[in-house]
A and B are shown apart, each in its own frame.
Chain A
Amino acid sequence: DTGVSQNPRHKITKRGQNVTFRCDPISEHNRLYWYRQTLGQGPEFLTYFQNEAQLEKSRLLSDRFSAERPKGSFSTLEIQRTEQGDSAMYLCASSLAGDSGNTIYFGEGSWLTVV
């Protein structure tokens, strides 16, 4: 499978615990994005990387959230001290800068439930 891969697909955690999600983008894609989606809403932008550099972060991304892309390939999104409001689907997407189609491809998402 050469699409965007995310894991785990589902995570149930107790409030206060830390969770980490991983995203493997399409191999030649240099841009990687994280979005969050709650029920009935469209995805909301969290952050994006070009290669290993984190170029933009949404103000939605509180201090409890951190994202990394250390080698410019896969990325991790960590949420510390989870809260019930963090329950959502976390979507990763990737694209190729300069691609004339500008297509952004999404992974299947990681569902987080905080109980």
Chain B
Amino acid sequence: GQNIDQPTEMTATEGAIVQINCTYQTSGFNGLFWYQQHAGEAPTFLSYNVLDGLEEKGRFSSFLSRSKGYSYLLLKELQMKDSASYLCVENTGFQKLVFGTGTRLLVSP
């Protein structure tokens, strides 16, 4: 995805905490999404940040710093079912979404 940078792959163990970082192009920024995508399935919405700060939603939290063009997704108490790709997605206006290539997270026992 253009101008979206996130790690290609991460591994973690069940019960642990993992942070997936994302940097994006700041011009034309209108918000940042995180989506989860299991192999062969459609992306499912996790979070949306427009303002700076941390948004917490259960085991998942997302952070945004607009001045730095930086976001992260924090997953706590990892479960095996959290093994998936996590897509950092920038809303560049009129909800035109620019997707990163995703971070494949593998959770092991």
Q: Which residues of A contact B (CB under 8 A)?
A: 31, 33, 35, 40-45, 48, 55-56, 91, 95, 97, 101-109
Q: Which residues of A contact B44 (CB under 8 A)?
A: 106
The 6 A-B pairs with the shortest beta carbon distances in the complex, nearest first, are A42-B99, A106-B42, A42-B1, A108-B42, A43-B99, A42-B101
Q: Which chain B residues lie closer than 8 Å to A33 at the CB level?
A: 95, 97
Q: Tell me the B residues contacting A by CB distance below 8 Å.
A: 1, 4, 31, 33, 35, 41-45, 48, 50, 87, 89, 91, 94-102
Shortest CB-to-CB span from A32 to chain B, Å, is 11
Within the complex, which residue of B45, B50, B87, B91 is in contact with A42, where a contact is CB–CB below 8 Å?
Answer: B87
Residues from chain A with a CB closer than 8 A to the CB of B42 are 91, 106-109
A108 touches B96 (CB 8 A): no
Query: Is A55's CB under 8 angstroms from B94's CB?
Result: yes
- Asked whether A106 lies within 8 Å of B97 as measured between CB atoms, the reply is no
